[in-house]
Amino acid sequence: MGYEVTAVPDGSEAVRIYERALRKGEYFRAVILDATVRGGLGGVETIERLRSIDPEVNAIICSGYSDEAALSQFLSYGFRWALPKPFTRRELADALGKALDSVERT
C-alpha cells in the first residue's frame, strides 16, 4: 500500500520505538495495536502509555475477539479507528485512510 512499516512483537517495544522516534523529531502517522498480545503488553495498555507521551497518537485497535470492548468503544479508549480480525487488505486500507483522515500532523 506504499507505507513504510515498523513491526514490533508487543506494546512495550512499540512504546520504546515510538519514544525514540519522537526524540529524533520523527512521527509515526499511525500505529496499529492488537488488543491481545500473549505474554506482552496489549493494545489497551499500550495506547495509555503512548497517549501519555503523545496525546495526539493516531492509533487503530485490532482484535479477533468480537466481544473486545475496545473494538466497539474505540474512541473512548483513545483509538481513532477499530479493525476486527480477520480483515482484508481493502479493510486495512480503509481503516488506515479513515484514521489518517481523522487527524493530520502539522
What pLDDT is stored for residue 46 in this prediction?
96
Q: Which of 46, 96, 38 is nearest to 64 (CA)?
A: 38
What pLDDT is stored for residue 106 in this prediction?
39
What pLDDT is stored for residue 104 in this prediction?
59
What pLDDT is stored for residue 66 in this prediction?
80
84 cis-preceded (ω within 30 degrees of 0): no
Q: Tens place of pLDDT for every residue, the chain, 106 residues?
A: 899 999 999 999 999 999 999 999 999 999 999 998 988 899 999 999 999 999 999 999 999 888 888 889 999 999 999 999 999 999 999 999 999 987 654 3
Q: Within 13 Å and on the Cβ side, how many CA atoms surround 104?
A: 3
What pLDDT is stored for residue 84 in this prediction?
94
Per DSSP, 7 falls in state -
Rounded distance, CA 16 to CA 93, Å?
26
Decide: pTM greater than 0.95.
no
Neighbours of 97 (CB within 10 A): 13
CATH class of domain segment(s) 11-101? alpha beta
Domain coordinates in residue numbering, the chain: 11-101
